[in-house]
Each structure stands twice: as C-alpha cells, then as structure tokens.
Amino acid sequence: MVRRALILMCVGCMALFMASCGQTYELQSISVSPTTANLEGINTTQAFTVTAHYSNTKTEDVTVKSRYQVSQATAATDPDTPNGALSVNNSGVAETSSTVWACTWAYAAAGKGYVYGITSPYIVTVTYSGFTTTTAIAVASGPTCYDGISYLHP
C-alpha cells in the first residue's frame, strides 16, 4: 500500500513537472530597426531587422518570417513618390529601383549650408503573427535630387 502511494506520488510529481515544461509565452509586440532610413542612389539597399517581443521578456528575430508592404498612397498626390521606386523583399531588404526614380526629399537653403527635409517618405508596413509596425524610407534616386555621386542642390 505504501509502495503504491509512493508510486502515485512520483507519477503525480512527474506529471506536474512535465506540465510546467514547454510553457508558451505570448507575443506582445514587434519592432523594426531602423525605424527610418534614407536610401541614396539607384539600386541602393537597406536591410531591416524585425524583432518579436514576448511576455517572458525574450525576443526573437522574425525578419524572414514577416511580411512587408510598401505604401505608396502618396504617389497619386505627390509625384515625388512614384509607384515602383522602392521594394522590400521577403528577407526584409529594401531596394531602390533602377528604372523608376524617386526624390522624396529636397534641399533648402539654411544659413551657411543646406539641410534636407523629407517631403513624402515611403511607409513600409511590417506584419508578423497579427502584429504590425511601420518604418519610413526616404528615397533620393532621381536625377532631380541625385546625380549618382551627390545630392543636387536647388
């Protein structure tokens, strides 16, 4: 009888121990890095990293598991952000086009030098497991703002 009770206690403890193994933690949010980027030139690339943040404070690189959508809604109202000037592949790498140029920032005189102001950056929506975040990408690949060597000033 004692032996049976000990066996049942051992089985119960093992079941309890096994139940605590493999706990799952909830995905709390995702983030993308860098949060903004400036791409200068034709066929220029920028790699992004998407990080999943879990309830147990652990993180995971989910860049290749994420989906990317370039928002070009401003292209209809702003000719400086044409469709097809920027793409993001499944590995999280953004690339400017060699056939469609864009100029989403422009220089303006500022005292002794020039500064640029982003006019209409592309917005990339990143989605992973039902969570979304965004990053803004400014592009200077067109001949009106970039000549292949440096930015052109107005």
- Does the pTM of the predicted model rise above 0.85? no
Indicate if the pLDDT at residue 118 is higher than 60: no
139 or 8, greater pLDDT: 139
Average pLDDT of the chain, as a whole number: 79
Which of these ranges, 34-43, 90-99, 102-111, has the smallest mean pLDDT?
Answer: 102-111
Per-residue confidence (pLDDT) for residue 67, from 0 to 100: 98
Q: Of 83, 84, 119, 114, whose CA–CA distance to 104 is shortest?
A: 119
Q: Which two tokens stand for residue 2?
A: 């004692």
Q: Please give the torsion angle defined by the CA atoms of residues 121, 127, 133 and 136, in that order, rounded to the nearest 10 degrees.
A: -10
More reliable by pLDDT, 60 or 109: 60
Q: What does the pLDDT read at residue 19? A: 52
pLDDT greater than 70 at residue 70: yes
Range from 49-53, 107-111, 132-136 carrying the lowest mean pLDDT: 107-111
Q: What pLDDT, on a 0 to 100 scale, did the predictor assign at position 85?
A: 87
C-alpha distance across the termini of the chain, in Å: 94
Token couple for 92 = 């999280």
Cα(34)–Cα(25) distance, rounded to whole angstroms? Answer: 26
Q: Domains in the chain, please, with CATH?
A: 27-140 (2.60.40.1080)
pLDDT of residue 153: 47
Taking 70 as the threshold, does the pLDDT of residue 144 lie above it? no
Q: Which of 34-48, 53-67, 91-105 has the highest mean pLDDT?
A: 53-67
